[in-house]
Amino acid sequence: MTNPNPMKMLLLALVLSVAGICTGSSAHAQTSLIQNAPGHRVLSLNGSWNYIIDPYENGFYDYRREAFDKSASGKGGYYDNQKPSNAQETELIEYDFDHSPALQIPGDWNSQDPKLLYYEGTVWFKKSFTLVPKAGKRYFLYFGAINYESHIYLNGKKLGMHKGGFTPIQYDITSQLSATGDNFVVVKADNTRHAEEVPTINTDWWNYGGITRDVFVAETPETFIVDFKVQLAKNDPTKLMGYVQLDGAGKASQTVTLNIAEAGIKQTLKTDADGHAAFSLPAKKLKLWSPLSPKLYAVSFSNGTETVQDRIGFRTIQTQGQDILLNGKSIFMRGISIHDENPLIPGRARSEGDLRMLLTWAKELGCNYVRLAHYPHNETMLKLADEMGLLVWAEVPVYWTIAWQNPATYQNAEIQLSDLISMGKNRASVVVWSVGNETPLSDPRLKFMTSLVKKARALDDTRLIAAALELHRTPDFVIHVDDQLGEFLDLTSFNEYVGWYWGGSPSEISKYKFDIKYNKPVVISEFGGDALAGYHGTAETRWSEEYQESLYVNQIKLLSTIQGLRGMTPWILADFRATRRQHPVYQNGFNRKGLISSTGVKKKAFYVLQEYYRQQAAKYDTGK
């Protein structure tokens, strides 16, 4: 991220309000996301939140459909959390959070209340908390994610509105906290799907609603370290580059010290008038991060009033012809696609333990790489990948039929991409930014997608940019990969479902050939087929484990014919909920392409891929 100069901030505010992404009174509008925000956590708001299901949005609009929070008094909505003001209880109040049921946060609502499994609409949440603000400190209310549109209120006053179900939301609440320490926060979360949003109405995953990631209050000094980046320079392991950004009245001309003690790096930086200090330093002695040796360094920045810390790894990633070079050495990306879902709940992953379980399964499969599909995953997931030695493909929900011609839709996608990059820019594990998945060919789509590519490169030119491309086949069994978007990307990636959507059985896979236009590394973003764990038959029996097993055997043979094959992320690690999947016997509301079932059982195909990855590891990890 670059220095937020005033002109840029003005433009950004304009764009935000056009897109309707995050608006509120200007004092509270979302500014730069706090880097490593949990490091500033002073109070967790996870736990029990009371909720009210409000399909008609009675807590938001009056009976003439006027929004209460836009009325002269700003009062009347559920966010008032109104209580009877006298003992006789003479007032008419038709809601009561404190006698309403509670859900656990973080956590989607669908998996916690059977009434809400298919629900799409508004649910209100309320939590009371005690926090006595200290003089000279600032406080930020931080939500890891709320799906999809959220209106957030503190002590009855609106902080703002945010769109996007997978990126953090933060508001400066310093002036809004009550002096006595008694506070309440109310959230209107609405997961209604809309054609013009990102994602659009049609996806192949469950539209989980609610406050799905951690909530906390962060405390900072008046002037504090809001953002920083420390990574190796593009393709140069000898140079460390980055910046630190201060926020607050005293941000200009401050001294900030960068310290990476273990590497003997201590550097004094001086901020400019905008509170920004960029640096470029020699970094000869750093031990580089890789899946085989995921070395992380303790990195800190101090400005006299505070010290912020992170654990950061350093590596280079680049392509050369059809090779992907990690720290200058050719690698094969042994991957698997993953949704942000714990199949054992089943529901959105809620805890670090859930995320660790998913990545541990990936390691067991022999992976050195994961594709975090199809939207930004939890920041904790990226940190775990750093720690466990897994390369990451991180993606935005530009999926299928986006409203390509709508400028607000584009701005929305771009903001989600920027927030994703902001969240993951210090993670060595993240090597690919993906700007979208299987988007149908058209000129407006190409313009939209190439603008996202440009944006991603402008924000971070040290990582590879990719997308799951479109492909088509001809009657001679040739699969053509010539989607024009491929010209603008670093990898050739595509989803290829021969043997499942194309062709009647896995044995037909061998008839196919590839015609790939680009001389770039090929990293297959998806292939796969459904299998119901425990259901057995022959290799021709749809939905059986044997069918899926044979599909993997034949796909691996077919893909191995691609000269530039440098990796893959088959679809998918575990079965996941999907409304499109209606077969009452075999699917029952689940996409069954998982290598692991919704009860945690490994299917036969798991072992096929595991063996293939064992062979690939032997070939590449030893440098042969």
Binding mask 202-241 for ligand GCB (x = CB under 6 A): --x-------------------------------------
Binding mask 20-49 for ligand GCB (x = CB under 6 A): ------------------------------
Burial 186-205 (b: 16+ CB within 10 A, else e): bbbbbbeeeeebbbbeebbb
Give me 422's structure tokens.
């902001």
By C-beta, is 197 or 204 nearer to ligand GCB?
204
Q: Which of 185, 166, 198, 168 is nearest to 38 (CA)?
A: 168
By C-beta, is 354 or 526 nearer to ligand GCB?
526
Q: Do the strands 169-172 and 122-130 form a parallel or antiparallel pair, or are they unpaired?
A: unpaired
Q: How far is the CB of 356 from ligand GCB (least distance, A)?
A: 24
Q: How far is the CB of 593 from ligand GCB (least distance, A)?
A: 5
Any idea which residue has 């085989």 for tokens?
A: 292
438 binds ligand GCB (CB under 6 A): yes
Q: How far is the CB of 100 from ligand GCB (least distance, A)?
A: 35
Q: How far is the CB of 500 from ligand GCB (least distance, A)?
A: 8
Amino acid at 30: Q
The CA-based diameter of the chain, rounded to the nearest angstrom, is 83
By C-beta, is 141 or 573 nearer to ligand GCB?
573
By C-beta, is 331 or 449 nearer to ligand GCB?
449
- Backbone φ and ψ for 145, nearest 5 degrees, come out as -175, 145
Q: How far is the CB of 183 from ligand GCB (least distance, A)?
A: 40
Contacting residue, 166, 301, 547, 571, with ligand GCB by CB under 6 A: 571
Q: How far is the CB of 515 from ligand GCB (least distance, A)?
A: 20
Q: Where are the beta strands (DSSP E) in 203-322?
A: 210-211, 215-221, 224-233, 236-247, 255-260, 265-270, 276-282, 297-302, 307-312, 317-320
What do you get for the CA distance between the two ends of the chain, in Å?
38
By C-beta, is 29 or 485 nearer to ligand GCB?
485
Q: How far apart are CA 229 and CA 242, in angstroms?
A: 5
In DSSP terms, 326 is beta-bridged to 317, 329
By C-beta, is 171 or 571 nearer to ligand GCB?
571
**The CA-based dihedral angle spanning residues 329, 335, 341, 345, taken in that order and rounded to the nearest 10 degrees:** -120
Chain position whose Cβ is nearest to ligand GCB: 204
By C-beta, is 258 or 533 nearer to ligand GCB?
533
By C-beta, is 389 or 436 nearer to ligand GCB?
436
Contacting residue, 149, 197, 526, 575, with ligand GCB by CB under 6 A: 526
SS3 per-residue string spanning 298-349: EEEEECCCCEEEEEECCCCEEEECCEEEECCEECCEEEEEECCEECCCCEEC
Q: How far apart are CA 22 and CA 496, in angstroms?
A: 37
Q: How far is the CB of 306 from ligand GCB (least distance, A)?
A: 42
470 binds ligand GCB (CB under 6 A): no
By C-beta, is 247 or 438 nearer to ligand GCB?
438
Contacting residue, 271, 378, 426, 495, with ligand GCB by CB under 6 A: 495
Binding mask 161-200 for ligand GCB (x = CB under 6 A): ----------------------------------------
Q: How far is the CB of 264 from ligand GCB (least distance, A)?
A: 46
By C-beta, is 154 or 358 nearer to ligand GCB?
358
Q: How far is the CB of 147 from ligand GCB (least distance, A)?
A: 17
Q: How far is the CB of 454 from ligand GCB (least distance, A)?
A: 24
By C-beta, is 199 or 242 nearer to ligand GCB?
199
Q: Where are the beta strands (DSSP E) in 54-208?
A: 102-105, 122-130, 137-143, 146-147, 149-154, 157-163, 169-172, 182-190
> Applying CB under 6 A, what is the total number of residues that bind ligand GCB?
9
Distances 602 to 8, 43, 607 between C-alpha atoms, Å: 51, 39, 8
Any idea which residue has 């990102």 for tokens?
A: 198
Q: Which of 453, 464, 378 is nearest to 410 (CA)?
A: 453
**The CA-based dihedral angle spanning residues 294, 300, 301, 305, taken in that order and rounded to the nearest 10 degrees:** 150
By C-beta, is 23 or 342 nearer to ligand GCB?
342
Contacting residue, 434, 437, 439, 616, with ligand GCB by CB under 6 A: 437
By CB under 6 A, the residues from 373 to 402 that bind ligand GCB are 374
By C-beta, is 411 or 495 nearer to ligand GCB?
495
By C-beta, is 386 or 526 nearer to ligand GCB?
526
Q: How far is the CB of 551 from ligand GCB (least distance, A)?
A: 12
By CB under 6 A, the residues from 581 to 600 that bind ligand GCB are 591, 593
For residue 117, the Cα-to-chain-centroid distance in whole angstroms is 23
Q: How far apart are CA 227 and CA 170, in angstroms?
A: 14
DSSP 524-566: E-B----B-TT----TTSTBSHHHHHHHHHHHHHHHTT-TTEE
Q: How far is the CB of 567 from ligand GCB (least distance, A)?
A: 17
Any residues with CB less than 8 A from the CB of 52 and at least 6 apart, and which? 59, 78, 95, 97, 100, 123, 124
Any residues with CB less than 8 A from the CB of 99 and at least 6 apart, and which? none
Rounded to the nearest 5 percent, the helix, strand and coil shares of the chain are 20, 35, 45
Any residues with CB less than 8 A from the CB of 535 and at least 6 apart, and which? 543, 544, 545, 586
Give me 491's structure tokens.
């990898």
By C-beta, is 324 or 572 nearer to ligand GCB?
572
416 binds ligand GCB (CB under 6 A): no
Strand ranges across the sheet with 122-130: 22-23, 157-163, 149-154, 182-190, 122-130, 47-53, 102-105
Which positions lie near ligand GCB, rule CB under 6 A? 204, 374, 437-438, 495, 526, 571, 591, 593
